[in-house]
């Protein structure tokens, strides 16, 4: 039985590749490099702490999840819109764990952001999820589920 244990380097590379894929897709300005676009729209100084900490937190959580899950096999997957949509609708213990972990992580950072900016939670949340950054943050849930599906940790079957 294959048992996936992520490494810090592997997850850092995965996070960076997802950021670059998102920037390449959304960047409509040919004169703006991917790195410059990410810095301008995603990694602003106000939100830097989240993006610096996200990969570290993800590594810790995925390591625990991989240790506690019955891993089946590594999968080579071609992501189609239909398969992604199916994965979005999966409701099993692993998918709920992803939902809960990401929501909790984001809530913690939004709370810190609200305190730092002296805003209400809802105002901070609107600011945190504004524009391209919000679109990227909202894509994280599916990206994590796709990674877990590829690594055999998450199944599409609901009765896991």
- pLDDT tens sequence across 9-39: 988 899 999 999 999 999 999 899 999 999 8
Residue-level pLDDT at 17: 93
pLDDT band of residue 160 (cuts 50, 70, 90) is very low
Token couple for 106: 């984001």
Whether the Cβ atoms of residue 116 and residue 124 lie closer than 8 Å to each other: no
Residues 30 and 62: their CA atoms lie apart, in Å, by 36
Q: Measure the CA–CA gap between 122 and 13, rounded to whole angstroms.
A: 32
Domain ranges of the chain: 8-150
- Average pLDDT on 57-63 reads 89
Mean pLDDT of 110-125: 89
For 132, the token pair is 């391209």
DSSP character string of 58-125: HHHHHHHHHHHS-----------HHHHHHHHT--SHHHHHHHHHHHHHHHHHHHHHHHHHT--HHHHH
Q: Which of 65, 134, 133, 51 is nearest to 99 (CA)?
A: 65
What pTM value is reported for the model?
0.83
- Confidence band of 153 (pLDDT split at 50, 70, 90): confident
Query: What pLDDT is attached to residue 157?
Result: 66
Average confidence (pLDDT) over 58-76: 76
Nearest to 22 by CA among 31, 32, 34: 34
Band the pLDDT of 85: cuts 50, 70, 90.
very high
């Amino acid at each position: 039985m294959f048992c996936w244990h992520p490494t810090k380097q592997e997850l850092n590379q995965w996070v960076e590749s997802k950021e670059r894929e998102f920037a390449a897709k959304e960047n409509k300005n040919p004169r703006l490099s991917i790195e410059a676009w990410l810095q301008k729209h995603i990694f602003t100084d106000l939100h830097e702490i989240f993006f610096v900490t996200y990969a570290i937190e993800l590594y810790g959580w995925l390591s625990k999840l991989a240790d506690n899950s019955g891993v089946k096999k590594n999968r080579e997957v071609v992501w189609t819109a239909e398969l992604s949509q199916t994965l979005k609708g999966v409701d099993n213990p692993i998918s709920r764990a992803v939902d809960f972990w990401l929501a909790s992580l984001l809530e913690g950072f939004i709370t810190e952001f609200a305190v730092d900016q002296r805003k209400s939670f809802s105002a901070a949340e609107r600011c945190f999820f504004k524009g391209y950054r919000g679109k990227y943050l909202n894509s994280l849930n599916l990206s994590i589920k796709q990674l877990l599906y590829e690594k055999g940790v998450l199944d599409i079957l609901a009765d896991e």
